[in-house]
Amino acid sequence: KAGVTQTPRYLIKTRGQQVTLSCSPISGHRSVSWYQQTPGQGLQFLFEYFSETQRNKGNFPGRFSGRQFSNSRSEMNVSTLELGDSALYLCASSLTRGETYEQYFGPGTRLTVT
């Protein structure tokens, strides 16, 4: 069974640009969550999607947005990039919601903003 895939793996953008990251969950998984990982702030929750609806949102500015498609694939978008957005963005998929269900993480997208 294929794992969680994230594309692209690496990305370099300039301040002020926008970026879209993609996450394909494990087949059959309906829940996708996104996290930002930085050396200073650690792992912080961005959003959680289930059945194409955002179910939970972390404490990030409105420049960070996401969506989920009917095939459970998810994208996140960051507009007007800032230097501080440089991070590893991880997505995780699980069968459904709830702590009983294991979350599987992708390898991440490394975003560098210059």
Partner 1 sequence: GNSVTQMEGPVTLSEEAFLTINCTYTATGYPSLFWYVQYPGEGLQLLLKATKADDKGSNKGFEATYRKETTSFHLEKGSVQVSDSAVYFCALIREGGATNKLIFGTGTLLAVQP
Residue 31 makes contact with partner 1 by CB under 8 A: yes
Minimum CB separation of residue 80 from partner 1 in Å reads 26
Window of 10-18, 42-50, 61-69, 76-84 that interacts with partner 1 by CB under 8 A:
42-50
Among 76, 78, 81, 90, binds partner 1 (CB under 8 A): 90
- The answer to whether the CB of 22 falls within 8 A of the CB of 11 is no
Interatomic CA distance for residues 4 and 94, integer angstroms: 10
**What SS3 class is residue 83?**
helix
66 binds partner 1, rule: CB under 8 A: no
**Neighbour count for residue 94 (Cβ, 10 Å):** 22
Structure tokens at 106: 């992708």
Binding site for partner 1 (CB under 8 A): 4, 31, 33, 35, 42-45, 48, 55-56, 58, 90, 92, 94, 97-108
